[in-house]
């Protein structure tokens, strides 16, 4: 794998890393390594191998006495923590399955040794997208929100690290529902009208606010540290390109994950002064593509020709039920993005762009947009994308792109060798954990060496 970007991104250790959510199996000991035991009393060792964006960092999981047939997966990341699910299987047959998983919370060093804690197993097991993680100084909270069967209420499951032997269960209701959409939603876009969680964000504060996000519909905010928590709705910008297409009939909406990404950024809302505002950041990807009829090579699979794509970014510092809280920051088309000479040369050599592939930047099949979560002024317009040569390409070849939406430039690219996954899957996520890694002088040299590679 290789990466390239302007020198300004190499000056120091970055605040924002991209972490591949599917962990790698193997031992990779370093100053980031932490270990504990599984529920079957087998040793498990976790190590973080940081890389400079746009190249995703890797997480390694090593269980010397256990065969892991389902790859471990990072469910959630916040500040110096991430939550990991490992399907450990049965001690009798050695098989692994998602329904037989242990959950672990990894904490970065931050002037002490990194730690790995196994959680009390929840019952029943939860869908990954419904699980959130909240950092509370030396402690943390894991919370799960699910719709109650046959009821307008929701089931809220809470685990506090200081009470490691219990999950708290509550029924919660929506006391402040999301406002109606400011325009008529066509029947084909009916998916916009109900909530199905795509991801969970951590906002924090004294009440421990967390948000269960449906990237099409909106956000359900919940103060999970209150004695009687309730839910309140926050809308998201309407995907006007999808609602208005086909002469106003709209289009069927599938998973929003390939088209939208969201993050909560402390101090990322601008405003100047000594106390810049915290904010939500949303990125929306518009694509102009046509379905290409299959041939002998592509029989049984879909293929698309991309004509152009557009990135829209939004900021929300108020987080109320008003649609007007969202401010559109940028709208750029791929055909308007400039590419540095060195980056263009590497893209030509890789075969991603150029006459050999018959593609320019705006012809690339891009997906899974994510905003950079650094509060630094020169990072606030950066958006990450995943690019492929072909839709559902069988080869494990992908590229990460870092786009400066404010200056309309491609900052960097990195080859990302991942197997193709269903379009609904998260494949990487921005994390601020690098700020909390405190290596020794020797380890720091080695870490910076890895980041510059």
Domain-wise residue ranges, the chain: 1-119, 258-423
Confidence of residue 269 (pLDDT cuts 50, 70, 90): confident
Name the CA radius of gyration of the chain, rounded.
22
State how far the Cα of 20 lies from the Cα of 370, in Å rounded to an integer: 13
Helix (H) or strand (E) holding 279: strand 279-291
The more confident residue out of 44 and 394 is: 44
Which 3 state secondary structure label does DSSP give 319?
Answer: coil
At residue 229, the pLDDT reads 97
Match 């020794």 to its residue by tokens: 440
Pair of tokens at residue 406: 């404010």
Cis bond leading into 54, ω under 30°? yes
Residue 170 scores a pLDDT above 90: yes
Pair of tokens at residue 138: 């030396």
Give the residue-averaged pLDDT of 176-183.
Answer: 91
Confidence of residue 176 (pLDDT cuts 50, 70, 90): very high
Confidence of residue 74 (pLDDT cuts 50, 70, 90): very high
What Å distances lie between residue 46 and 25, 64, 133, 142, 333, CA to CA? 10, 12, 18, 20, 40
Pair of tokens at residue 156: 């809220």
State how far the Cα of 398 lies from the Cα of 389, in Å rounded to an integer: 8
Pair of tokens at residue 219: 């956000």
For the ranges 96-105, 230-239, 441-450, which has the lowest average pLDDT?
441-450
Q: Which letter does DSSP use for residue 379 in this model?
A: G
At residue 123, the pLDDT reads 73
Residue 5 scores a pLDDT above 50: no
Query: How many CB atoms neighbour CB 174 within 10 A?
Result: 16
pLDDT, tens only, 127-138? 999 999 999 999
Residue 159 scores a pLDDT above 90: yes
pLDDT, tens only, 314-370? 999 999 999 999 999 999 999 999 999 999 888 888 888 877 666 789 989 899 999
Which 3 state secondary structure label does DSSP give 7?
Answer: helix
State how far the Cα of 25 lies from the Cα of 68, in Å rounded to an integer: 8
Residue pair 418/23 in contact (Cβ under 8 Å)? The answer is no
What is the CA 318 to chain-centroid distance, rounded? Answer: 22
**Ordered DSSP codes for 108-133:** --SSS--EEEEPPPPSSPPPGGGEEE
Give the residue-averaged pLDDT of 6-11.
Answer: 34
State how far the Cα of 47 lies from the Cα of 31, in Å rounded to an integer: 8
Give the residue-averaged pLDDT of 34-48.
Answer: 95
The CA-based angle 222-225-231, given to 5 degrees, is 15
Which 3 state secondary structure label does DSSP give 241?
Answer: helix
At residue 274, the pLDDT reads 55
């Amino acid at each position: 794998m290789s990466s390239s970007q302007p020198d300004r991104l190499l000056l120091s250790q970055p605040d924002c890393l991209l972490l591949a959510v599917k962990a790698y199996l193997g031992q990779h000991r370093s100053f980031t390594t932490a270990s504990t035991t599984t529920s079957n009393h087998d040793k498990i060792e976790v190590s973080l191998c940081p890389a400079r964006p746009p190249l995703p960092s890797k997480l390694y999981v090593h269980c010397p006495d256990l065969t892991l047939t389902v790859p471990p997966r990072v469910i959630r990341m916040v500040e110096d923590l991430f939550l990991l699910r490992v399907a450990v299987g049965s001690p009798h047959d050695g098989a692994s399955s998602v329904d037989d998983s242990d959950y672990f919370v990894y904490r970065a060093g931050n002037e002490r040794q990194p730690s790995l804690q196994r959680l009390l197993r929840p019952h029943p097991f939860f869908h990954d997208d419904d699980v959130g993680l909240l950092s509370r100084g030396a402690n943390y909270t894991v919370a799960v929100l699910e719709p109650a069967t046959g009821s307008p209420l929701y089931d809220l499951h809470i685990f506090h690290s200081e009470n490691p032997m219990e999950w708290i269960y509550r029924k919660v209701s929506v006391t402040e529902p999301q406002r109606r959409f400011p325009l008529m939603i066509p029947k084909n876009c009916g998916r916009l009208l109900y909530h199905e969680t795509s991801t969970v964000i951590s906002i924090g504060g004294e009440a421990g606010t967390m948000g269960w996000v449906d990237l099409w519909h909106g956000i359900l905010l919940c103060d999970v540290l209150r004695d009687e928590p309730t839910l309140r709705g926050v809308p998201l910008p309407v995907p006007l390109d999808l609602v208005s297409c086909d002469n106003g009939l709209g289009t069927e909406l599938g998973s929003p994950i390939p088209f939208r990404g969201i993050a909560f950024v402390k101090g990322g809302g601008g405003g100047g002064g000594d106390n810049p505002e915290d904010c939500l950041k949303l990125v929306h990807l518009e694509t102009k593509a046509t379905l290409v009829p299959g041939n002998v090579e592509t029989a049984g699979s879909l293929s698309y020709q991309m004509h152009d794509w557009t990135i829209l970014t939004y900021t929300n510092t108020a987080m109320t039920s008003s649609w007007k809280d969202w401010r559109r920051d940028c709208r750029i088309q791929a055909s308007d993005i400039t590419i540095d000479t060195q980056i263009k040369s590497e893209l030509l050599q890789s075969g991603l762009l150029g006459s050999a592939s018959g593609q320019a930047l705006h012809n690339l099949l891009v997906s899974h947009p994510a905003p950079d979560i650094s509060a630094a002024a020169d990072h606030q317009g950066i958006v990450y994308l995943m690019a492929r040569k072909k839709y559902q390409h069988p080869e494990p070849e992908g590229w990460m792109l870092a786009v400066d939406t404010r200056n309309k430039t491609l900052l960097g690219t990195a080859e990302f060798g991942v197997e193709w996954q269903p379009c609904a899957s998260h494949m990487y996520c921005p994390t601020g954990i690098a700020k909390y890694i405190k290596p020794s002088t020797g380890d720091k040299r080695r870490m910076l060496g890895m980041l510059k590679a």
